[in-house]
Amino acid sequence: MNFGNQTPTIVVLKEGTDASQGRGQIISNINACLAIQDTLRPTLGPLGSDILIVSSSGKTTISNDGATILKLLDVVHPAAKTLVDISRAQDAEVGDGTTSVTILAGELMKEAKPFLEEGISSHIIIKGYRKAVDLAVNKIRELAVDTSAENDSRKMLEHCARTAMSSKLISSNADFFVKMCVDAVLSLDQQQLDDKLIGIKKIPGGAMEDSLFIDGVAFAKTFSYAGFEQQPKKFKHPKIVCLNVELELKAEKDNAEVRVEHVEDYQAVVDAEWQIILDKLKQIEDSGANIVLSKLPIGDLATQYFADRDIFCAGRVSPEDLDRVIKAVGGVIQSTTSDIQQQHLGTCEVFEEVQIGSERYNLFQGCPQAKTCTLLLRGGAEQVIAEVERSLHDAIMIVKRALQNKLVVAGGGAIEMEVSKYLRDFSKTIAGKQQLIINAFAKALEVIPRQLCENAGLDATDVLNKLRMAHSRGEKTFGVDFENESIGDNLAKFVWEPALVKINALNSATEATNLILSVDETIKNKESQPANAGMAPPPGRGRGMPM
């Protein structure tokens, strides 16, 4: 048969593959992202609400932290997962602003949607957004206030922590927790500021303000054997040895084969086993240590031996807790007991074991090397304590960033309104489609103050009009004032945020939007059936039979 010039159809993709493309596909992806934005909108700001999420296993989580909510939502739409990723990246990079970055990205897409429907190429929109974000970031750097010249940098850190906590569960206890956050960050090595060295332990029961800040290390009492009760539970200026040695009587008859001809020979083997562990214990005692910590078990014989000699011991200490102990008290982990020198021992001012709630905790306080600290969090329910932990994590990360980067900007929507005004003014100086796109970017920035007003029950249109007027008069730091339900100078009111948070949020939101706008085709592969699906198992390999 002669087809002439007609080209036969060639099937490249597997049958059942779903492929959709074109402008409709971009708009469909934008709609999916807007659904995610709608979920997070009510949680923004000091008067935002919390979301209760129930997992498939029945575990409940109450939170208004954007990254936590998106992590727990089972998002299946491939484009919407981009918003989950930028929220996580914001959490990892700066610790706060996870809800803002998602809402901003959604709003930028929403503003781009009418242009796409009118037939404007997505690449023109991407180009305009890139230009706008560069201008916005430069403007934020220009508006940022350098606080490094301030005499009291602690006050600056406290203002930043208080702003980060304003939208969290702990906002009503801010005075208590702000001090705890700043103390925690300032106790770290100021060169490295490794926030992983801030230990957080959750103890159910009590009120939130029963939480404790330990300038050193605290960990829950480890599993202990009989004889532990007789050990002293408090020392002043103790010598602490940290081991990676098992102090348990191991019967070698379980692990080795020994051939003996006489009963005396068997007794010699048993005596040798006892002698090995007793030698180890004697060497630890001779080192002068008052406290013995080990990653490995400390058995009943060793526990009783130490109790008779007024030595405290704890076995099976978790590696991260032991590492933090060493950073706080000094010393080195020993993998043998035969050569423990004085320089291998650590010390602290006070060690004690205390009852906190229903658990006993070992506290090492007044540590000479204190480059670590521990926060013991209390609360009525597990969900409450978990949310307190997330809130403190955000505040600690903000304090850390503010300490590293002394630039701060006014919060409460002030910086967004000023950047929006600046971009609107800039757009009037250029011609063509870019003017409209940069103007759309400026309009999208207003979503933050608008949403703050809506969540607080204020008249968003009225407040935004007042803000636009204030910023046109040159009031650059005016934002939403929740106390007076109007507008106010947020820089003077110490509603401060690190400039880094805003810059990172704008960059991430714009990148995510441009990524979604540049994707105009989705190919979804059909799930493949396993090669042996539906086949009977081979003989002797049926379900429930030994392999």
Indicate which residues carry an active-site annotation: 65, 98-99, 394
3-state SS assignment for residue 185: helix
* Residue 137, both tokens: 């970031």
Which amino acid, residue 113?
K
Angle at CA of residue 47, ends 513 and 88, nearest 5°: 35
Strand partners, 481: 486
CA 465 distance to own-chain centroid:
36
- Cα dihedral 438→441→445→450 (10° resolution): 110
Rounded CA separation 532/126 (Å)? 47
Structure tokens at 116: 């796409």
Burial readout 164-180 (b: 16 or more C-beta within 10 A, e: otherwise): bbbbbbbeebbeebbeb
CB contact at 8 A, 245 and 294: yes
The DSSP code sequence of 199-260 is EEEEEEBS-GGG-EEESEEEEEPPP--TTGGGS--EEES-EEEEE---BS---GGGT-----
What is the residue whose two structure tokens read 């080192």?
Answer: 287
Q: How many residues does this entry show for the chain?
A: 547
**Using CA atoms, how far apart are residues 469 and 95, in angstroms rounded to an integer?**
33
DSSP state of 8: P
Sequence-distant (≥ 6) Cβ neighbours of residue 131 within 8 angstroms: 434, 438
83-95 in b/e burial notation, b at 16+ Cβ within 10 A?
bbebbbbbbeebb
- Residue 59 and residue 383: Cα distance in Å, rounded? 10
Q: Do 512 and 444 touch, CB atoms closer than 8 A?
A: no
On the CB side of 476, CA atoms within 13 Å amount to 9
Calculate the CA 484 to chain-centre distance: 33
Distance between CA atoms of 290 and 105, rounded to whole angstroms? 57
Query: From CA 276, how far away is CA 248, in angstroms rounded?
Result: 10
- Which residues have CB under 8 Å from 118's CB, separation 6+? none
Q: Which residues of 527-541 are buried (b: 16+ CB within 10 A; e: fewer)?
A: eeeeeeeeeeeeeee
Q: How many CA atoms lie within 13 A of 79 on its CB side?
A: 26
Chain centroid to CA 73? 17
Inter-residue contact 344 to 332 (CB < 8 Å): yes
Using an 8 Å Cβ cutoff, are 60 and 53 in contact? yes
